[in-house]
Amino acid sequence: MKTEILKADTNSIEKASSLLQKGEVVALPTETVYGLAGDATNGSAIKKIFEAKGRPMDNPLIVHISSFSMLEGLVSEVNDDARKLMENFWPGPLTIIMPKGKNVCDEVCAGLSSVGVRMPANFVAREVIEKSGILFAAPSANTSGKPSPTTADDVYEDMKGKIPLILDGGECEKGVESTVVSVLDDVPVILRPGIITKEMMEKVLGKEVLISRAITEEVKNDEKVLSPGMKYKHYSPKAEVIIVKGDFEKFRKFVEEDKGEKVYALLFDEEKVSIPFLSYGHKNKPEEQAHFLFSRLRELDRLGAKKVYARCPDKTGVALAVYNRLVRSAGFKIIEL
Ligand code: TXA
Ligand code: MG
């Protein structure tokens, strides 16, 4: 199959819409990362998404909507917590897990009785929903296990020959995927951290929001998890990534002693070392780190990096989202100095 990349405009959005209506899969930008979209009511379209990504069939997808009325039939209940979160954070990078409605096919939910829904803020994503009338399910548009794509070229790298169309809407604004929060129980639980933080949601809900342990810790193969995605290898470039904790001077001495070939450091903007390095944002600006992390991991692959020593982000606020992605890309390999 030939994979076309078209700059997102009226014509290409029209084309993407008609492909979606025919049960095809197209890649498109959202404000978080690029998504691989297919009709959430069409089981055979959804199967194509799983195939193109090589995604395990037990890992459910997120459904994207552009107006509140589209919740009808998609979810069976919107409780108070869900309503407050939608009113405050939609459109935007927040996915809410709610009880599944009758119009969403089982393949999307991977057999669960719940469904994750989000209303993206990105213009192109919204236009496609509006023009096609299709609520699309979309995982990140990467090959399963690789860093999520934040440009159309990243998507092409993984999806070339597998899908007919990539809409190019430029670089994604946020750079990490949406926060995933479950409101199925009285106490909301964050299943994946993102730009919408625990503190932001607690303020709106007036109660505690829990953070799933699987966000910062490794999940054993046979362990039961609230979100199936948490047990899989994730965000991994070809290079071996190792997080090195400790102050910068210790970090610098440590990495400069490794004279190996194709060894890189992944630093904060204000730092320098004598081995090859890339930086992923200012030390005190987690939004910047979120914006750059995935694109830097992909760049390290293009450079042929074999080993990457990474500076460690914080674990609070937005930085938790960065930590969560980096520690997974490192396969939980951490050196404490
Ligand atoms: O920002 C995003 O959310 C992007 C863009 C394209 O919207 N999408 C995305 O989808 O990141 P994906 O499939 O890569 O990640 C969805 C995560 C997975 O970890 C999955 O296990 C979890 O959400 N998830 C989806 N539905 C769920 C459900 N019903 N219960 C628990 N976890 C769910
Ligand atoms: Mg993903």
Instruction: Give residue-wise pLDDT tens across range 154-166.
Output: 999 999 999 999 9
pTM of the predicted protein model = 0.96
* Ligand 1 atom closest to the CA of 64, numbered from 1: 7
What rounded mean pLDDT belongs to the chain? Answer: 96
Fold of 4-215: DHBP synthase (3.90.870)
Rounded to an integer, the average pLDDT of 328-334 is: 93
In this prediction, residue 227 carries a pLDDT of 74
The dihedral over CA atoms of 55, 58, 59, 62, expressed in degrees to the nearest 10, equals 110
Q: What is the mean pLDDT of residues 142-160?
A: 97
Q: How far is the CA of 192 from the centre of ligand 2 (A)?
A: 11
Q: Is the predicted pLDDT of residue 90 greater than 70, yes or no? A: yes
195 Cα: distance to centroid of ligand 2 (angstroms): 15
How many Cβ atoms sit within 10 Å of the Cβ of residue 166? 28
Report the top-level CATH class of 240-336.
alpha beta
**Predicted local confidence at residue 276, as pLDDT:** 97
Percent of the chain past pLDDT 70, that is, above it, reads 98
Enumerate the domain spans of the chain.
Answer: 4-215, 240-336
The SS3 call for residue 199 is: helix
- For ligand 2, the distance from its centroid to the CA atom of residue 152, given in whole angstroms, is 16
CA–CA distances in Å: residue 114 to residues 107, 109, 223: 12, 7, 20
* Residue identifier of the C-alpha nearest atom 24 of ligand 1: 60
Do the first three CATH levels of 4-215 and 240-336 match, i.e. the same topology? no
Pocket of ligand 1 (CB under 6 A): 30, 32-33, 35, 59-62, 93, 95, 97, 109, 112, 114-116, 138-140, 177-178, 180, 191-192, 226-229
pLDDT in tens, 253-281: 999 999 899 999 999 999 999 999 999 99
Q: Is 42 exposed, middle or buried (0-12, 13-18, 19+ CB in 10 A)?
A: buried
What confidence score (pLDDT) does residue 221 get? Answer: 67
Is the confidence at residue 324, as pLDDT, over 80?
yes
